[in-house]
Amino acid sequence: MVGAVDKHFALIGFMGAGKTTLGRELARLTQRPFVDTDEEIEKRFGPIGELFERGEPEFRRIEEQLVAEALAGPTSVIALGGGAVLSEATRKRLRRTAFVAWVPVDVDAAWSRVRDSGRPLARDREQFGHLFDVRADFYDLLAQGTGQDTDGLLLESLHVIFSSEIACDAAVIADERVASLHELPVTDSVTLVTHVVPAGEQAKTPAVVERLWSELDVGRDGWIIGFGGGSTTDVAGFTAATYLRGLRWVAVPTTLVGMVDAAIGGKTGINTEQGKNLAGAFHFPWEIRLDPRFLVTLPAEERRAGMAEVVKTGLLAGEPLWELPEDEMIRACAAFKSAVVISDPYEREGRRAILNLGHTFGHALEAASGYELRHGDAVALGLLAALRLSGRATDVVEEVLAPRPVRVDRDRAWEALLRDKKGRLRLVLLGDDGGYVTEVPEADVRQALDELIAD
């Protein structure tokens, strides 16, 4: 499975790298248990310095045992001691059960942080430097990602990369307009075969997928690339999930919606006559490649639609992410989405539902418009309704997104909302600690929906 999905999130690195601090924050963001193996050793066997006095081999035996127990336990964020990777048995267990992220640190910075800590291996600067060099080789060999802050580590955990360069032969499923404006950069000798699909929701139909199945000429070891907005990556991912019982795929979103939300998370799907995304699969992309340069040609109305997902994410995170410079904004939103996905990859635990803030109303309005209303514009209106039902101010949505009521059939919108919620009016609202799911009286929901529809 890709990255940290269904696997432990294991942090390795030299002493003084900050693995414990980062690990605690990652555990909070992903709502996973946190295990610090050094702390566990001290709880059960006493101070590490005293264990070293009895001999390093005995300490390493205990460490190997504690790491094995942690890796056999519930899926967690685990911070390992600097020398844990010296054990071949531990390395094998990590490769099998964990996404391993290296937290690098400069040797001088590490020395300044730990030289007065009393650590048994931080008493002599020359020996410290030698140890640093030896262990760096092990970290480099084992690491599947690297990072020095939580956002960077979260992005690494789902293979979110800020580059669009393609390094393998692949079938490209591309939005027809995007294909006319941009080319994917490739490394030497890479061959890409492009299959165009209609722009927007018109790509997400059974007929388009059936055509792609008939056109594709790739083997079981082949790759598919989704190149376009959220609708394009949706249909590309669904095609990859269903062709030859599943191919590896790469998402290269070219819209703001795609970069901050739609392409991240492994949910793929197409629409049916009965509703949006009713045929789909969880099929995580092998990589998600983000390149803000593609946004240069994005129409203003599409950028505004993308900002709806940015505002949604900022509201859930409790941070004004919409105020950041574009590259930083995209990075922060993608990292938050990654954290929520890692906490609940298949929507089994409930937390991932918070990402639907505003979407229940948005989907209803989209359906009632025959999908002529842009997804982001519908979500902007949905955020107004969700905030009103939460008893929260709507200033940010009104100032940043400026949504206006839309002309759609009220009864059709209400029927679509009930179908989306399968009769139970459990909605995502916003509280002091972020999003939460609660049941809302039917009359309140109907009124909130009516306020989004123009007379």
Residue 363's contacts (CB-CB under 8 Å, 6 or more residues apart) are 275, 276, 378, 382, 416, 417, 420
Give the whole-angstrom CA distance, residue 202 versus residue 449: 25
Marked catalytic residue, from 32, 93, 182, 352: 352
Sole residue written with tokens 């009286």: 441
Three-state DSSP state, 31 = coil
Beta pairing partners, 327: none
53 is catalytic: no
CB atoms within 10 A of CB 54: 10
Active site residue 245: yes
Question: Which structure tokens are listed for 192?
Answer: 């890409």
CA–CA distance, 368 with 357 (Å, rounded to integer) = 19
349 is catalytic: yes
Residue 377 CB burial class (10 angstroms; 0-12, 13-18, ≥19): buried
Spot the catalytic one: 159, 359, 374, 388.
Answer: 359
Residue whose pair of structure tokens reads 């919620």 in the numeric block: 421
Active-site residue, from 88, 96, 126, 245: 245
Query: Tokens 């999130």 belong to which residue?
Result: 9
CA separation for the pair 122, 115 (Å, rounded): 5
How, if at all, do strands 34-36 and 77-79 pair? Answer: parallel
Determine which one of 337, 351, 374, 388 is catalytic. Answer: 337
Sign of CA dihedral 25, 27, 33, 36: negative
Handedness of CA 395, 396, 399, 401 (dihedral sign): negative
Do residues 365 and 373 lie in contact, with contact meaning Cβ atoms separated by under 8 Å?
A: yes
Active site residue 267: yes
Residue with tokens 């790469």: 250
- Amino acid code (one letter) for 355: L
Q: Identify whether 183 is a catalytic site residue.
A: no
Using DSSP's 3-state secondary structure scheme, residue 101 falls into strand
Question: Does the annotation mark 277 as catalytic?
Answer: no
Q: Is 113 a catalytic residue?
A: no
359 is catalytic: yes
* 312 contacts 392 by C-beta, under 8 angstroms: no
Rounded-to-integer distance, Cα 8 and Cα 1, Å:
12
- Is there a contact between 161 and 287 (Cβ–Cβ < 8 Å)? yes
Of 356, 366, 374, 388, the catalytic one is: 356
Cβ–Cβ under 8 Å, residues 294 and 184: no
Q: Residue 40 is encoded by which pair of tokens?
A: 């566990």
Active-site residue numbers?
245, 267, 309, 337, 349, 352, 356, 359, 363, 375
